[in-house]
Amino acid sequence: MYDGKTLLRLAPCTSAEVADLTMQLETLGCKLLDDEFEVLADGGCADAEAICSGESAATLEQRGSVSIISSDAGAHWRRSSGGAQPFAGGLGVASDWYSAWRDLDARMARVESVVQASGGTATIETAGKSLQGRDIKIVRFTGQGYSVGKPKVFLTFNLHAREWIAGMAGVYAVEQLVAKAKADPDYLAGVEVVMMPMANPDGFVHSTNNDRMHRKNMRNVSSRCYGVDVNRNFDAKWATGGSSGSVCSDTYHGTAAMSEPESNVIAKVMNESPMTVYIDVHAYSELILSAYGYTRDNHPRNREYRDIGGRIQAAIKSTHGKTYSEGPIAQVLYVASGSTVDYADSWGALGICIEMRPGLSGGGGFAPPASTIRPGAEECFDGILAAIDYAANPP
C-alpha cells in the first residue's frame, strides 16, 4: 500500500511548527505515521515520518524541518528492513534465526521449542485470546521457593503491531532466560518472571501482510480504518489526555477503558498475584521510561524509579555502549493516558517501558534494518536482567 508513495522525515522543533505542519499534512492528504507527533517534553525536536504523494512531498520539502527519505516508501522498507519470514531450522547455536524478521508462526514455534527444551525451567500457557481468536501465550519462570507475595516481574512485548524488534526481543529474552536459569538453578530462587512475547498477535499479522505501519489491534472501528491502541485502553486515567477519540487515530483509546480483549488478557496476568516490576517493551527511540504517563507531576516513588531506571540504563550501556535516556513518560516524551505502565503502577508495581533501537533519527524508525535485531535484543535482555535483580534484591 506504500508503493510509489514518498516517505518524509519530519523534525520540527517548536510546538507552533508541529501544529502548522500537522494541518498542512492533512490539507495535502498525507498520512502521518505516528499520531504522537509532538516536541519532546524535555525540549527536543519532534521526530516522525509521513507518507505523501510526490507532488505533496515536493511542497512540504520546502520547509526546513521536512526531508525526503525515499520516493518509494514500500520499496525502501523492503530493501532496508525486509519483510517477516518463516523459519524451518532448529534451535542450534549456529542458527541464523535472528538475522531476519520472523512471522508469527516462526516466533511462537521458537518459543514453544525453547520451553520444551528447558527441562522444566519454564512453562508455557495460553493466557487468553485476541480479538480475532489467536492465542496470547505467556512463558512462566517460577523459581524454587517462590510463593505469592514474593518478587514477581511481568513483561509484555510487541503491544504495538509495527514494532517488530520488540517481539523479536521477547523471543530472545525467553531463550536467554531459559539458558541462564538452566545454568544456575538458584538464579531465580524466590522469584517469578512471566513473559508475554507477543501481546498483539492480530495487529502484528496485519502489519506483516497488509500495512507495515499498523500500530493497533484489529477492532473494526469504521469503514475506513481498524484498531484500538491497546496501550491507551487501560483503566489508568483512561481518555484524560495523550490519547484520541478519533477512530482512525493511531492513539484511538476505544469506546471505554478495558474494551479490548488484549487489554483484559494482560490485566488478568497482572492481577493474578502482586507484581514487583512490570516492563512493556516497545520501539523506537532508545529510552527507559516510567510512570507517570498521564501527568507530568512527580511520582511519590520517584527515588525508586530513578534507581531501577538507572540500573537498567547502565546494563544496556554495558552491552553495546548505547546510552538510553531515562525518566518519566510524561516528562521525557509526552502525556499518554491509559497505558500499561500506569495501570501496573496503580497495582503497586514499578511500571517501566523500554523503547528499543533505533535512535530518533536516521535509524529506520519503526522499520529498521534486520542487522539491529540481535544487538537490540541483547541490550534489552541485559536491561531486563537488571530489573529482575532489582526485584529480587531491592535496595
Burial class (CB in 10 A: 0-12, 13-18, 19+), 15: exposed
Listed as ranges, residues in the chain with pLDDT below 50 are none
Sheet holding 350-356, edge to edge: 123-129, 135-142, 192-196, 152-157, 277-283, 350-356, 287-290, 325-328
Q: Write out the catalytic residue numbers.
A: 355
pLDDT tens, 278-287?
A: 999 999 999 9
pLDDT confidence of residue 88: 79
Q: Which of 378, 177, 194 is CA-nearest to residue 280?
A: 194
Spatial separation of the C-alpha atoms in residues 234 and 250, rounded to whole Å? 15
pLDDT value of residue 362: 75
Answer yes or no: are the C-beta atoms of 276 and 151 closer than 8 Å: yes
Domains and CATH numbers, the chain: 6-80 (3.30.70), 97-392 (3.40.630.10)
In this prediction, residue 36 carries a pLDDT of: 75
Q: Are 28 and 62 in contact (CB under 8 A)?
A: no
- The Cβ of residue 304 has, within 10 Å, a number of other Cβ atoms equal to 15
Alpha carbons 131 and 129: distance in angstroms, whole number: 7
Sheet order of strands, 48-52 included: 31-32, 48-52, 6-10, 66-70
Which of 112, 255, 132 lies closest to 200 in space, CA to CA? Answer: 132
C-alpha dist (Å) from residue 227 to 84, 137, 259, 310: 21, 21, 12, 35
| CA gap 216, 212 in Å, rounded | 12
What lies within 8 Å, CB to CB, of 135 at 6+ separation is 126, 129, 201
pLDDT at 315: 98
How far is it, in rounded angstroms, from Cα 341 to Cα 211? 27
Q: Residue 274 class from Cβ within 10 Å (0-12 exposed, 13-18 middle, 19+ buried)?
A: middle
For the chain, list the strands marked E by DSSP: 6-10, 31-32, 48-52, 66-70, 123-129, 135-142, 152-157, 192-196, 277-283, 287-290, 325-328, 350-356
Angle at 143 between CA 141 and CA 147, to 5 degrees: 105
104 Cβ neighbours under 8 A, 6+ residues apart: 84, 134, 198, 201, 204, 205, 208
Q: What is the pLDDT of residue 91?
A: 75
Q: Are 268 and 306 in contact (CB under 8 A)?
A: no
Strands 123-129 and 48-52: unpaired
Residue found under cell 527507559: 288
Q: Measuring CA to CA, which residue among 314, 294, 290 is closest to residue 302?
A: 290
pLDDT score, position 92:
66
At 83, list the grid cell.
519483510
Q: How far apart are CA 103 and CA 125, in angstroms?
A: 20
This prediction's pTM: 0.96
* pLDDT tens string 204-241: 999 999 999 999 999 999 999 999 999 999 999 999 99
